[in-house]
C-alpha cells in the first residue's frame, strides 16, 4: 500500500514531517502561480475551415508556423500587441504526454504546426520563446523582437520559427537553437490545403523574401520542476 510522498531531486527524500509539509506547500503555490500565468497568456486558436475574409472587419488573419527538429516537446513562441493588449503564443508539439504518441503535425517534411488566427488589426512583436519538456522548461535568455502588422480584413504572413534541439537528458530537451525564416511557399501550401475559402485571397508578406535570422533569443536557460514520487511507507 502506498502511503507516503517523497520529493526527490534536491537533497534526496524528505523524512522530516515538517519538511514534507513545507515542501508540499511550496509545490502547491508553484502550481497556483503557473496556472495564473497560463490564464494570462494562452495559445491562439486557428480559424475554422469554413472561415472567409470580411473586408469590413476590424480584425485580420495572422499566418505563421512553429517547427522543430528533435525530440517531441512543447515549443512555444510568445507574441504581444504593441498598440493593443493582445497576448498569446504559437506552439508545436506537446510538453507533457500521457501516452508516448507523437502529435500529428501539419507538414510532411518537418514536425510543426501552421497557425491561421484572427487578431485585432495593429502592430505586434514576437519577443520570447520557451520549451516545455517533461519536468524541464527552457526559456530564451536574450531579448529579441520580431515585429509584424496585422491589417484589417487581410491575411498577413509573419514567417516560421524553427527550433533545433542541441541538448538532451534522455528524452528531455534542455537546449535548443531557434531560427526565424521566410518559408512562404511551404507554409502557404498548407494554408491553401486546410482553408479552401482562402484559396485565391491575396496574402501580405510581413517579412523580407529569403530572410533568415539565426540564434534567436540565445541557447536558453533551463529550470527543473520538482516532481512528487510515490513510495511505499517505511522505505
Q: Return the pLDDT at 98.
A: 60
The lowest-confidence range among 22-36, 125-139, 199-213 is 22-36
Say how far apart CA 121 and CA 58 lie, in whole Å: 6
Q: Return the pLDDT at 234.
A: 54
Q: Return the pLDDT at 4.
A: 38
Mean per-residue pLDDT, 61-72: 97
Q: What ranges in 84-180 are assigned the alpha helix state H?
A: none
Mean per-residue pLDDT, 116-127: 97
- In angstroms, the Cα distances linking 204 to 17, 36, 56, 149, 153 are 62, 35, 17, 10, 11
Q: Return the pLDDT at 133.
A: 94
The reply to whether the predicted model has a pTM over 0.75 is yes
| pLDDT per position as a tens digit, 71-115 | 999 999 999 999 999 999 999 999 876 656 677 899 999 999 999
Q: Return the pLDDT at 82.
A: 97
pLDDT at 174 over 60: yes
Pick from 189, 155, 150: which is nearest to 51 by CA?
155
Average pLDDT of the chain to the nearest whole number: 84
∠ Cα 12 18 23 (to 5°): 55
Question: Exposed/middle/buried for 39, CB within 10 Å: 0-12, 13-18, 19+?
Answer: exposed
Q: Return the pLDDT at 127.
A: 98
pLDDT at 11 over 50: no
> Three cell numbers at 179?
531560427
Mean per-residue pLDDT, 44-60: 94
Q: Return the pLDDT at 95.
A: 86
| pLDDT per position as a tens digit, 126-168 | 999 999 999 999 999 999 999 999 999 999 999 999 999 999 9
Amino acid at each position: 500500500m502506498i502511503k507516503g510522498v517523497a520529493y526527490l531531486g534536491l537533497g534526496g527524500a524528505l523524512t522530516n514531517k515538517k519538511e514534507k509539509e513545507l515542501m508540499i506547500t511550496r509545490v502547491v503555490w508553484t502550481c497556483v502561480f503557473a496556472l495564473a500565468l497560463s490564464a494570462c497568456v494562452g495559445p491562439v486558436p486557428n480559424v475554422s475551415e469554413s472561415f472567409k475574409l470580411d473586408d469590413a472587419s476590424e480584425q485580420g488573419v495572422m499566418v505563421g508556423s512553429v517547427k522543430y527538429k528533435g525530440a517531441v516537446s512543447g515549443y512555444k513562441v510568445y507574441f504581444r500587441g504593441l498598440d493593443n493588449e493582445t497576448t498569446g503564443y504559437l506552439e508545436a508539439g506537446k510538453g507533457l504526454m500521457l501516452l508516448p504518441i507523437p502529435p500529428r503535425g501539419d507538414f510532411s517534411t518537418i514536425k510543426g504546426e501552421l497557425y491561421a488566427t484572427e487578431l485585432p488589426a495593429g502592430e505586434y512583436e514576437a519577443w520570447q520563446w520557451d520549451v516545455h519538456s517533461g519536468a524541464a522548461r527552457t526559456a530564451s535568455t536574450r531579448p529579441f523582437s520580431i515585429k509584424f502588422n496585422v491589417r484589417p480584413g487581410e491575411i498577413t504572413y509573419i514567417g516560421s520559427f524553427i527550433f533545433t534541439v542541441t541538448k538532451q537528458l534522455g528524452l528531455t530537451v534542455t537546449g535548443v537553437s531557434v531560427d526565424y525564416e521566410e518559408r512562404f511557399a511551404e507554409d502557404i501550401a498548407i494554408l491553401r490545403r486546410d482553408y479552401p475559402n482562402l484559396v485565391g485571397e491575396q496574402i501580405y508578406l510581413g517579412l523580407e523574401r529569403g530572410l533568415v535570422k539565426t540564434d534567436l533569443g540565445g541557447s536558453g536557460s533551463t529550470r527543473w520542476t520538482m516532481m512528487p514520487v510515490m513510495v511505499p511507507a517505511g522505505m
